[in-house]
Structure 1
Amino acid sequence: MVAVLALCAMPASAQTPVAAAATAKTYRFDLPAASLVETLRAISRVSGVTISIDSESVTGKRAQAVSGTLTLADALATAIGDNDVEARATATGYWVAVANKLDIVFVVARRDQAETSFKADRSDTATRSGSDLMEIPGGVTIITSKVLETQQMTSIQNALANVSGMSFKQSPQGAPTFGIRGFGETALMVNGVADNSAAMTNVFGVERIEVLKGPQAILTGAGSLGGGVNVVIKKPQAAPIRSVMLQYGSHGDLTLAGDVAGAVTEDRRLSMRVIAAHSQARDNTAGFDGRKDDSFLPQLRWKDETTDLIAGLSYGKQHAPVPRYTFGRRDGVILPVPQLMLGRPEDGFETRQRRAFYQLEQVLSTSVTLISRLNRSLQETEVHVRSPAGLSYATGAANDAPTGEVPFFAGRTDQKQNSTSGDHYLRILGSTGPVTHKLSLGFNHNETSSHQSQWSGPMTTVKVYPPASTTPFGDLRADASTVSSIGDQKTKQYDTFLQDLMNWGDWSLLVNLRGTRYSSEGSTIIPPKTYVTPKTTLHKSTPGVGVVYALSPEVSLYTNYAEGFVPSTLPSCVGGLIPPKSTRNREVGAKFDLFDSKLSVTTAAYELAQSNMSVYNRPGNCYNVRDAQVTRGVELDAQGQVMRGLNALLNYTFTTAKDVGNPATNYTGVPKHKMSLWATYDLQGDAWRGLGLGLGVSATSRSKGSTNARYMLYTPGQAQLDASVFYKSGPWSTTFGVKNIGDRLLYATTVDSSFIPVMERRNYMLTVKRDFK
């Protein structure tokens, strides 16, 4: 805090690293000859000055040794040497690029690195300071749009399988959910701002997906126990984009998408981008009507020397069919996939999202930049599926002798959710003695209101084994016609926060502090009674700290501590409300930036401990709290270019979870081992120019699928092999991919014996893309 007060008290000229360099401020450098990108990063770290690098301009170039007490300008000139690149001071740092591109990257909007590479070097979200990933004291995995394109991804959910520490669960009455490091309460963001509809964003409009490991209360306040997922939307740019994509796959899965971008004005400061996509499949593996996905994303961007403003709208509408699933017996045996369609073709999940947003970066002075982001999101969801209650057993029957009948409940849910979220702060650059600072000081807010109605109907018992001769299901909307509940809820969250990234030589220290004011109120009607939850208000402070030591330009070591929480409205047995459910993350790790900054590797070991789990006290009709889940694990993520033509994405997770208060607790859906690898190779030599291959493998060990210790069900250990072949010639590119080449019977993560999702067997996808200049 002393450093912060000193920063705020300093005059503007003293706070400005670039201005200081201009007035001959000197720094002590002792950098050996290395790749130019690594040396530029080291100079940035020592001086505290942001150095933005055009990766295409500096890749493969070498820097001379930089040694002695030098000004920033002299250090850059020494490093660059005879390389055909230039460095130019901007309002907040330096740009480094080749001479004929410098004016372009200096002023106008450009295509992001994530759209052209498996690797992304920076994250604006993790520290709010636009820091290099090597300086961030925590695990951050970025899935770029280039990865999404080569894998022919169709959803955010599937893309997250590329990330270590991710777990997935699915129930018959909801879309698939995911967790990080064993906890399902995950912060969801779009462009760094809280948005619960983030996972429904159409993949064709996604620039990158940032997965932040560990609690993210500093970013979103309440609701993040294990980590956060930030979906970054593709931005407008001045360079023209004119592309059309046609994709066709198994089950008649057809997608048509277009992407148009370019300058609007002659000076190229105003640019635009419009992305639209339509997807529709005939059916799915379970025989239900196929998926549908429509999206439209128009944006405008003004970018000059001091202002970068993006404003846009997005619209999405989806239909997701009931997935293929099967059942488990009490003795843990998974039964064959039913031959009977377990519902009517139209059953499934309907969603619609509308979003308006803006992002502003405004340079106020050479040391102060205003960042302001705002999302207004409207989401509507309808769930109309029949929920299985599990296999029926005759009275006195043995565990392995079910009747073959399954009761199905008729249920339907409509939910409307509106939210307004914003993140607004000042990014202040300065120094106190030899320590440089990137200070983010600001205000965050989120207001959400939701209305949910549920209908139910009579239960239908169906002979599944052997299958009934006729479909016994009626129209679900007609069957589920009795109102079972109507609920309304409003939450408001207002926060102030401070993040200071301090650099001193090879050391970086990140200090976080957030103060949250969270309030909620609601009502529920369960005919004929109405239950009102009065307004409750919570005040919560969440600290965080992390340290990074740069062992060399290619290797950094880090450790951190972070907290997360989820508010509660349950009455405490000692009066008032029970305290929020909380997590504490302790982590150590190492990061590697290899092969001329073409490949990044992050390793981490962590312990994530939960406290304040609620325990019901029946006599007092109140709740006590206790410590509960502790997750420990090791993670590995690697992505980028391994060698010429070979790009790869690898992750591995080792996880254990236990309940310190009740060792008998079973945590479902968390395998001990999980890994995936995706690699593409562009064949070398003139005879093979344009031709390439892709290969992927994903595997998990078995995981517990039920909480009943007596009747334990497991998702079996399994592996899947995928492959593709692609060809590029001029403006045309074509990819043919095959998933689950072995046509194996595989199961998604099992969490209940009455619903065991079955993954798709061998399936195909052909993608043809045409770029128009």
Structure 2
Amino acid sequence: MAKIHRQQPGTRRFTPLILAVALQGVPLAGAGLALLPLPALAAAEGRDYRIPAGPLNAVLARFAATAGVQLVFDPAPLAGRSSPGLQGRYTLDQGFEHLLRGSGYRWSERGTGIYALEGGSAEAALAMPETVIQASAAGGGADVGYRRPVSTSTTRLGLSERQTPQAITTLTRDQVEDFHLQSIKEALRAAPSVTVEQTETDRTQFTSRGFDINSFQYDGMGMPFVSTTLVGDQDLAEYEQVDVLHGANGLMSGTGNPSAAVNFVRKRPTAEFQARLGASVGSWDNRRVDADVSGPLTETGNVRGRFIYAHDKGNSWLDRYGHEKNIAAGLVAFDLSDADTLTLGFSQHNSDANGSSWGNLPLADANGAPLHYGRRSSSIGQDWTYWNLDTQRVFGEFTHDFGNGWQGTLTATGVTERQNADMYYIFGVSGDDATAFGDHSASKAHQLIGEARLSGPFELFGRDHELTLGASYGRTHQKLREKILAEDGYYPTTLSGSLAGVPEPSLQYTDDIGHTQDFTDRQKSLFAGARFNLIDDLHWIVGARMLSADASGLSYGDAYYTRAHGEVTPYTGLVYDLSPQWSLYASWTKIFSPQYSFGLDGRLLDPLEGKSLEAGIKGGLFDDRLSLTAAVFKTEQRNVAATSVLVGSRYLYDTTDYRSHGLELQASGEALPGLDLLAGYTYVRINDADGERARKFVPSHSLRGLATYRLPGLPQAKVGARLRWQSGIENDNNSRIHQNAYALVDVLGSYDFDEHWSTQLNVNNLTDRKYLLSLYNNATSGNYGAPRNATLSVSYNF
């Protein structure tokens, strides 16, 4: 978010706005950046630019950012002017000439890599006090292609991607819009090393490096009590980017887990007006409209606001299944002083689904023989089944600049989530006969999380270093009530009848407390982290988090209480700079994570423990426009929730120990002029305590890639493709339940009619491949993925 810094007395005063921008492409949308004195490109050197239309202020700022120069000008006289953007290859002089043509302004060089606008009122503004508007990496500005800085909230220490001793993937807003990745699960399907395990119509798990992801954050605020299961089809409308921090994450997220931490970075109010309207129609009568409006709310810009809305409704390739989503979010940022900023936000997500299924198509009969279905639309979801989710989030963030690089942040987040569902499940298929279970559930959860953080530089032994200190608190209270049929809820049915549709059973509340939950979880932690610059090229990152957690209450008839006090999760890593473009790194962390699944005895499982190691190399090519990462990792875990059994309406878990190792390769950014990509390959091998391969439902090999190319002779046109390939998977307990290796191909084409209007066509699963969505946790049920489908969209940018 924007911060205003006044120049100290006694120094030369420049224009009201200095936009200093770097080759790394820090995002801009009219908000300026801190002065980064990098040398300019040679005036005669050409570069490919893909700058969209927008306000002239913002277009000039982005042009300077891409060129790597400092641009000095007064934005006031340019207010209200628009620009068609810049598409194609230009030298620095040619780019300025194209953008300023007809504006009455010209440019001049004021020093190495420093340029100023002249004409109009720009020269007169040279006598005005300097104001440098500094935006954070997550400040809500315009995207910069497929390469965007990692949010400072993701690493906690404010480290860049290259200075973080772990692999990181950033999904940008450009990628989300290019490939129509409107939901969380669709976006994470594009992330290398992440496997999206859509086990049912409305429940999804995520794994990375072979294990469950249980750390989901919003602007770095962890949600430690949220299940590893994502319920509903949660939308990405209010988020600017998604950062995936691969590997163990105890320092960053509160508990160590060797999979990954996912950080959803909110859109923020911008210093200049911007707005976008979009609409789309697609296969199975899917329709979507969305709006995103942002800008100053006062003449001085010290109060800024942003409003986001989306409505998404449609049916599915699955019989009887349909959905409707409504998302609204509002944010307001107040500059209380030169040093203080307060941001408040609220969001409402409604996700309603009809024809939902609990469990999926049985993939094996009672004897373990595989079952096959000719129609990908086959579903056990019924006309009367549904799963509705209502989520409200409110947050407040206060930041104070103490000076000398030190900043304090206070953040609080509150979440209320309500669920209602009528579900139908079948199992034990023998011939056409089967057993059904009917269930109605209603739940409500309240969560409150707060965090205080202080960070800044310090000097030790003649060198500058960085330090972060903080404390956090979280509390969740959840209540659930179920009603089932008389007795145990089971009744006879048939497979064919379930596929065709069965009448709704009569469900009655029982007095049995075995069908209720009422529990409270709490976590408190202190954390500290530092980056020591041991020598010019060697950096040591070290930190620890001390965690205390307890959980108590009633779960399905069993009273429970569990407590962990003063558990310390240490973290350490080294980064060695081979050159300005390449770095070697290594990291180690302890794994400690309280578990909220229940064991076969009906009680909460003991915490998961272990250790994780990672080493790799990171670098950049083509003036750092293309980022590369190669990493190897090794993990040991104890007491992992593994095999499960369904008892009544809940799953109970046995535990085991695992060892895993693997390799990750990733590339992101501009590979060639006009060619943007994100691609990654992952290999993972998981063994159990006996040294045998385990968790075979996780693919050993996977490849993710997406790319777009702007046509050189027709810069208004863009084409793109997306590839998802994975090796075969199978059930650990029944190898006859398996999915062979498969690849999915998506394509797109878009065209910008002018600086405002654009249209786009996306075609998914171009080859119409038939495949199972998941065999997660050795499931004996599953659904088929979507056949070939298409979406046509149009957008208008103000």
Shift of 1:405: 3.4
Tell me the SS of whatever aligns to 1:176. strand
Counterpart position of 1:491? 521
For residues 724 and 515 of structure 2, what CA distance do their matches in structure 1 show? 41
For residues 110 and 127 of structure 1, what CA distance do their matches in structure 2 show? 13
Tell me the SS of whatever aligns to 1:632. strand
Counterpart position of 1:637? 666
What pairs with 1:408-557 in structure 2 (closer than 5 Å)? Answer: 408-457=436-485, 458-464=489-495, 467-468=496-497, 471-475=500-504, 478-479=506-507, 481-482=509-510, 484-503=514-533, 504-526=535-557, 531-534=558-561, 536-557=563-584
Return 757-766 or 340-349, whichever deviates more: 340-349
Shift of 1:130: 2.3
Tell me the SS of whatever aligns to 2:170. strand
For residues 747 and 413 of structure 1, what CA distance do their matches in structure 2 show? 28
For residues 492 and 692 of structure 1, what CA distance do their matches in structure 2 show? 49
For residues 604 and 774 of structure 2, what CA distance do their matches in structure 1 show? 35
Return 223-232 or 432-441, whichever deviates more: 223-232
Q: Is the 8 A contact 1:367 1:430 kept in 2?
A: no
Shift of 1:437: 1.4
Return 138-147 or 118-127, whichever deviates more: 118-127
Change (3 A) 1:100 1:203: farther
1:141-192 Cα deviation digits (max 9, x unpaired): 1111111010111211111122222123243496111122222152111111
- Match 1:228 to one of 238, 261, 275: 261
- Match 1:84 to one of 108, 114, 120: 114
Aligned pair 1:748/2:768, yes or no? no
For residues 536 and 347 of structure 2, what CA distance do their matches in structure 1 show? 44
1:474-524 Cα deviation digits (max 9, x unpaired): 225x34654651111111111111100122311111101111111111113
Change (3 A) 1:491 1:643: same
Q: Is the 8 A contact 1:405 1:462 kept in 2?
A: yes
Return 297-306 or 540-549, whichever deviates more: 297-306
For residues 160 and 757 of structure 1, what CA distance do their matches in structure 2 show? 19
Counterpart position of 1:715? 739
Q: Is the 8 A contact 2:272 2:294 kept in 1?
A: yes
Point out the structure with the larger helix share. Answer: 1
For residues 192 and 62 of structure 1, what CA distance do their matches in structure 2 show? 31
Tell me the SS of whatever aligns to 1:167. strand
Tell me the SS of whatever aligns to 1:133. coil
Shift of 1:562: 1.5
Change (3 A) 1:427 1:99: farther
What pairs with 1:551-566 in structure 2 (closer than 5 Å)? Answer: 551-566=578-593
Aligned pair 1:293/2:325, yes or no? yes
Shift of 1:449: 1.0
- Match 1:364 to one of 388, 395, 402: 402
Shift of 1:535: 5.7
For residues 215 and 452 of structure 2, what CA distance do their matches in structure 1 show? 18
Change (3 A) 1:103 1:404: farther
What pairs with 1:26-41 in structure 2 (closer than 5 Å)? Answer: 37=23
1:377-421 Cα deviation digits (max 9, x unpaired): 1111234321221532xxxxxxxxxx1333332123322111111
For residues 450 and 261 of structure 2, what CA distance do their matches in structure 1 show? 16
Aligned pair 1:690/2:716, yes or no? yes
Q: So what's the TM-score if we normalise by structure 2? A: 0.77
Counterpart position of 1:397? none
Change (3 A) 1:470 1:646: closer
Q: Is the 8 A contact 1:559 1:588 kept in 2?
A: yes
What pairs with 1:181-196 in structure 2 (closer than 5 Å)? Answer: 181-195=209-223, 196=226
* Letter of the 2:66 counterpart: T
For residues 128 and 203 of structure 1, what CA distance do their matches in structure 2 show? 22
Aligned pair 1:655/2:655, yes or no? no
* Letter of the 2:289 counterpart: L
Counterpart position of 1:261? 294
Change (3 A) 1:570 1:139: closer
For residues 501 and 159 of structure 2, what CA distance do their matches in structure 1 show? 58
For residues 597 and 703 of structure 2, what CA distance do their matches in structure 1 show? 39
For residues 297 and 191 of structure 2, what CA distance do their matches in structure 1 show? 38
For residues 260 and 539 of structure 1, what CA distance do their matches in structure 2 show? 45
For residues 627 and 597 of structure 2, what CA distance do their matches in structure 1 show? 45
Tell me the SS of whatever aligns to 2:251. helix
Change (3 A) 1:373 1:594: farther
Counterpart position of 2:252? 219
Shift of 1:472: 5.0
Counterpart position of 2:81? none
- Match 1:148 to one of 163, 176, 183: 176
What pairs with 1:583-622 in structure 2 (closer than 5 Å)? Answer: 583-613=610-640
For residues 538 and 382 of structure 1, what CA distance do their matches in structure 2 show? 35
Q: Structure 2: where are the runs of 5+ without partners?
A: 1-6, 12-20, 27-33, 39-60, 71-109, 117-125, 644-651
Change (3 A) 1:695 1:348: same
Aligned pair 1:249/2:282, yes or no? yes
Q: Is the 8 A contact 2:642 2:656 kept in 1?
A: no
Q: Is the 8 A contact 2:278 2:290 kept in 1?
A: yes
* Letter of the 1:641 counterpart: E
1:80-113 Cα deviation digits (max 9, x unpaired): 9621359xxxxxxxxxxx9999946447999646
- Match 1:345 to one of 370, 383, 389: 383
* Letter of the 1:551 counterpart: L
Q: Is the 8 A contact 1:110 1:237 kept in 2?
A: no
Return 297-306 or 584-593, whichever deviates more: 297-306
Return 225-234 or 245-254, whichever deviates more: 225-234
For residues 765 and 173 of structure 1, what CA distance do their matches in structure 2 show? 20
For residues 245 and 601 of structure 1, what CA distance do their matches in structure 2 show? 33
Counterpart position of 2:345? 312
Q: Structure 1: where are the runs of 5+ without partners?
A: 1-17, 23-34, 41-48, 64-79, 87-97, 393-402, 617-622
For residues 749 and 109 of structure 1, what CA distance do their matches in structure 2 show? 35
Shift of 1:753: 5.5
Q: Is the 8 A contact 2:530 2:542 kept in 1?
A: yes
Counterpart position of 2:706? 678
What pairs with 1:570-589 in structure 2 (closer than 5 Å)? Answer: 580-589=607-616
Counterpart position of 1:277? 310
For residues 305 and 540 of structure 2, what CA distance do their matches in structure 1 show? 38
Q: Is the 8 A contact 2:256 2:569 kept in 1?
A: no
Q: Is the 8 A contact 2:194 2:209 kept in 1?
A: yes
* Alignment root-mean-square deviation, CA: 3.6
For residues 342 and 213 of structure 2, what CA distance do their matches in structure 1 show? 32
* Letter of the 1:381 counterpart: Q
Aligned residues with identical type, % of pairs: 21
Shift of 1:242: 2.0
* Letter of the 2:415 counterpart: S
Tell me the SS of whatever aligns to 2:382. coil
What pairs with 1:60-99 in structure 2 (closer than 5 Å)? Answer: 60-61=67-68, 82-84=112-114
Q: How many residues align?
A: 674
Change (3 A) 1:727 1:585: same
Tell me the SS of whatever aligns to 1:149. helix
* Letter of the 2:317 counterpart: T
Shift of 1:471: 4.3
Q: Is the 8 A contact 1:288 1:346 kept in 2?
A: no
Return 174-183 or 320-329, whichever deviates more: 320-329
* Letter of the 2:672 counterpart: M
Tell me the SS of whatever aligns to 2:155. coil
Q: Is the 8 A contact 1:633 1:653 kept in 2?
A: yes
Q: Is the 8 A contact 1:225 1:566 kept in 2?
A: no
Tell me the SS of whatever aligns to 1:413. strand
Shift of 1:596: 1.9
Change (3 A) 1:348 1:632: farther
Q: So what's the TM-score if we normalise by structure 1? A: 0.80
Return 348-357 or 380-389, whichever deviates more: 380-389
Return 196-205 or 256-265, whichever deviates more: 196-205
Q: Is the 8 A contact 1:390 1:754 kept in 2?
A: no
Change (3 A) 1:404 1:129: same
Aligned pair 1:738/2:771, yes or no? no
Change (3 A) 1:150 1:605: same
Change (3 A) 1:731 1:510: same
Q: Is the 8 A contact 1:237 1:263 kept in 2?
A: yes
